[in-house]
Amino acid sequence: MNNSFFNRFMPQEPKFFPMLNSLAAVIGKASGLLKECIDKKLNEEDVESFYKLIKEEERNGDRITTDIFNQLSLTFITPFDREDIHDLANSLDDIIDAINSAAKRIWLYNPKGLPNESKDLANIIEKGVARIQDSINELHNLKKDPKHISQCCDALHDLENDADDLYAQFIKRIFSEEGNAVELIKVKDIMHELEKTTDCAEHVAKILKTIIVKNA
């Protein structure tokens, strides 16, 4: 195990920290583009260019994630359990995939409009991603001071609860107000993908909590 007594005295590869930071930065770019994409759609503007930019970031995320996995197989001593590094990188990549999926649906479905709640969910996603970036940036300092990461995890949990409440309110409203079944299906699916993105962010928090318990 990487956190065994023996391994505490072995030199460890710090390269995973900047790699995870790079992956978190990609999520930051993607979440900002998603917010702009939704703003454009709310203003009835074309969103294809934003979807393409998000897709590009999704591919960047895939490349970084693959690189992390490859380095895990080549590295003897890692900063913390290699399974946790694998799970963390994979869960970060899941956020980018979810953002890309939401943007793709907005572009493909081309609904007549998006509900105002879509902007609220995009704001929650952006706030959650900012917390994730803060946490990843602090991973190198985990053993000395895990408090900041723990607080970010708690905030991610609260944001996911806010997203759940918002999505529930949207569902209740849309079924009572939207008379066009096709538009209802389009918008509901887009909103589901946005809400799912917040679930992915909370999953990152759970993995980070596990890492804290094992290493702090």
- DSSP labels, 14-60: TTHHHHHHHHHHHHHHHHHHHHHHHHHHHTT---HHHHHHHHHHHHH
Tokens of 133: 């970036």
| Selection from 8, 136, 130 nearest residue 78 by Cα | 8
Q: What angle do CA 186, 128, 58 make, to 5 degrees?
A: 60
Q: Please report the pLDDT score of residue 118 as a whole number.
A: 97
Could you confirm whether domain 13-215 is CATH 3.40.50.300?
no
DSSP labels, 51-88: HHHHHHHHHHHHHHHHHHHHHHHH-SS-SS-HHHHHHH
pLDDT in tens, the chain (216 residues): 444 443 443 445 678 999 999 999 999 999 999 999 999 999 999 999 999 999 999 999 999 999 999 999 888 888 889 999 999 999 999 999 999 999 999 999 999 999 999 999 999 999 999 999 999 999 988 888 899 999 999 999 999 999 999 999 999 999 999 889 999 999 999 999 999 999 999 999 999 999 999 887
